[in-house]
A and B are shown apart, each in its own frame.
Chain A
């Protein structure tokens, strides 16, 4: 088990390094850097001015050196201009002697966002809390709903209930968030034709979430995932219901209710557990769409802002966080699968 964990962690770190390097490389291509220079300096800079700006801000070194600086394994750049020393690690009140040599994410320095003009770590923490709130409620709504639908559909395969619930599951998997969100807003929140039950924006939910302003975004994300998890649960439940021990229980005369609750359910829930965990990358996508649609300022919204303005540090910060979330959930899903299913032993 320990070896397995170590190996998985090593792969995880390697993956995170590769991915952050890809993001770093793509955001630091020459046209993107030119955009950064014009955004930071002024938009009417000539090509020579752009080059000079890039040179004085440490952007002219090779990409891998700058990636090392960002990571904190290479010393930060310094630049001496007009007798004034500036550098990656040299803050406002620091001199050459007091400034640290290394300042990357290993030292806890995530850089500064050019769009929000704040520390990336601060932005990511604040936005993460908002997105976490959203995800928490999504999970709270999605998991019980999906499992209930899946178990009810799978316990009597081919019945009318199964047909109806399966159709519902297919409907939800065919409805991406930007479609269901639009339809839900039009039906429940539109001021002209709708029912006006809920609010069409979730901006006010950032300070005080309540049922009226937070239900629609949560439902929108939850619906898309529900169908998929429910179908997995249904398949696994249907398989368990044909197993030998369920037949034995039935022949012994155990009531159907007890068969489902005591014999089948626990075994049927192993597969959905992994699926729910692997749903996280998809949920992250949903979060970006829904936060944009409902104007809820979480991590997804920040990602859109950062990407639209090529805010390198913020983009890197958010991608590192989301990649870690994805990889950790994959790891949990693997470990959980082994833990829940005693038949599988580590090889």
Chain B
């Protein structure tokens, strides 16, 4: 078989993405049809920058879901090498392809003769699984600490701000090099950090619900009991892992184990992001607590946590949503940085940073192996930034 021309490659890539196109068309037509009833999300579709950003983000979300849940789109196995395909140019036919195999390496092969296209697709699943979740956790930590720091102020604020500035003064890469090493996993420090950091979502949700239903003890008790059992079980399964130092939780009750490499990456990304979120939340709280409705709540005799979580936080949501989008992009960049330095994730992992790192060694001769994941990462982060920009413009119009 002959090499494919660039037109044929593009056409075949386009066809491989068919499930994504269908999902995107469905999402967009439904959203545009009902956009007047969807609040801020609906207004996003009036903003051209926001629509482009949303499209790019959803493209990668659907790609990740298709490949991660159903195994669609990817043409080859992202980890296995094929003979004679080392550094193959884009569109090369697969040598010795069986009847069930996809007959081409659409975007070429890398230095270990693996399919660049499939690795890029598989990499999206790694990123989409870690980045939004890690950002969410950083927000939980940042909000839980930032609200009291801004609202109460005083000594608490001084101590917490000092700690936040301490972490922020660290060059991120130095912190990664210190935390994300096999030796560090051996000492168990990431596991202990996980114990502390993963506690924050539970504290946050417990306080949130307690503050809301404080006057209805029965409803509060039932809700809290259910929440604590579910979250507590997840929490204990998450932090306890037979391969690390934290392994107290019985195997039979352990729902899942996060591989130690992933856990340390997750923890350090949360750790790096949380202080910035803390500073933003603290600043917003200090601004909002001077408003009249906060004074009204204080006069009504509401508790401090109710005021923080149900008066201040909802009114700070605009800037926080915008920052959330930006921060997912930044987290993606951080994950790529970790991969680029070969930290944390296993070397054969298809995530974009690691792939760029492997591809850069032969960059001047075979650029495709590094360019493809680089463009993928660029488009996702660009999408998130455009989405944030669109959201900011639309929320300012209110």
Is B173 within 8 A of A288, CB to CB?
A: yes
The digit string for A35-69, where 1 denotes a CB below 8 A from any CB of B, is: 10000000000000000000000000000000000
* Bound Cα distance A236, B161 (Å): 26
Name which of A76-84, A169-177, A204-212 contacts chain B: A169-177
Q: Does A179 contact B (CB under 8 A)?
A: yes
29 contacts between A and B (CB under 8 A): A11-B162, A15-B169, A23-B178, A26-B179, A27-B178, A29-B187, A170-B385, A174-B385, A176-B333, A178-B336, A178-B340, A179-B374, A182-B356, A182-B359, A182-B367, A182-B370, A183-B374, A183-B375, A183-B378, A186-B364, A186-B371, A189-B364, A191-B365, A192-B364, A300-B173, A304-B177, A307-B177, A323-B171, A327-B169
CB distance from A327 to the nearest CB of B (A): 6
| Interface residue total, chain B, C-beta cutoff 8 A | 46
CB distance from A329 to the nearest CB of B (A): 10
Is B365 within 8 A of A192, CB to CB?
A: yes
Q: Does B70 contact A (CB under 8 A)?
A: no
Q: Does A203 contact B (CB under 8 A)?
A: no
* Bound Cα distance A284, B353 (Å): 19
| Interface residue total, chain A, C-beta cutoff 8 A | 53
Residues of A within 8 A of B363 (CB): 182, 185-186, 190, 200
Main secondary structure of the interface of B (DSSP, over half): helix
Q: Does B377 contact A (CB under 8 A)?
A: yes
* Bound Cα distance A334, B333 (Å): 28
Residues of B within 8 A of A330 (CB): 169
Residues of B within 8 A of A (CB): 162, 165-166, 168-174, 177-179, 183-184, 186-187, 189, 329, 333, 336-337, 340-341, 353, 356-357, 359-360, 363-367, 370-371, 374-375, 377-378, 381-382, 384-386, 389
Is A19 within 8 A of B378, CB to CB?
A: no
Is A174 within 8 A of B329, CB to CB?
A: yes
Is A326 within 8 A of B169, CB to CB?
A: yes
Residues of A within 8 A of B (CB): 11, 14-15, 18-19, 23, 26-27, 29-32, 35, 170-171, 173-176, 178-179, 182-183, 185-186, 189-194, 200, 281, 284-285, 288-289, 292-293, 300, 303-304, 307-308, 310, 315, 318-319, 322-323, 326-327, 330
Interchain CB contact (< 8 A) of B386 among A170, A300, A303: A170
Q: How many A-B residue pairs have CB under 8 A?
A: 141
Interchain CB contact (< 8 A) of B337 among A29, A170, A178, A284: A178
CB distance from A6 to the nearest CB of B (A): 17
* Bound Cα distance A177, B174 (Å): 17
* Bound Cα distance A307, B342 (Å): 12
* Bound Cα distance A308, B165 (Å): 26
CB distance from B30 to the nearest CB of A (A): 27
Residues of B within 8 A of A185 (CB): 363-364, 367
Is A284 within 8 A of B171, CB to CB?
A: yes
Interchain CB contact (< 8 A) of A182 among B187, B360, B365: B360
Is A183 within 8 A of B371, CB to CB?
A: yes
Is A179 within 8 A of B169, CB to CB?
A: no
Given contacts A29-B184, A176-B337, A191-B364, contact A170 B177 (CB under 8 A): no
* Bound Cα distance A310, B366 (Å): 33
From A174, A307, A319, name the one whose CB has the most chain B CB atoms within 10 angstroms: A174
Residues of A within 8 A of B382 (CB): 170-171, 174-175
Interchain CB contact (< 8 A) of A31 among B186, B357, B384: B186
Given contacts A23-B174, A178-B353, 7 further A-B contacts (CB under 8 A): A26-B184, A178-B357, A182-B356, A183-B371, A194-B364, A288-B173, A323-B171
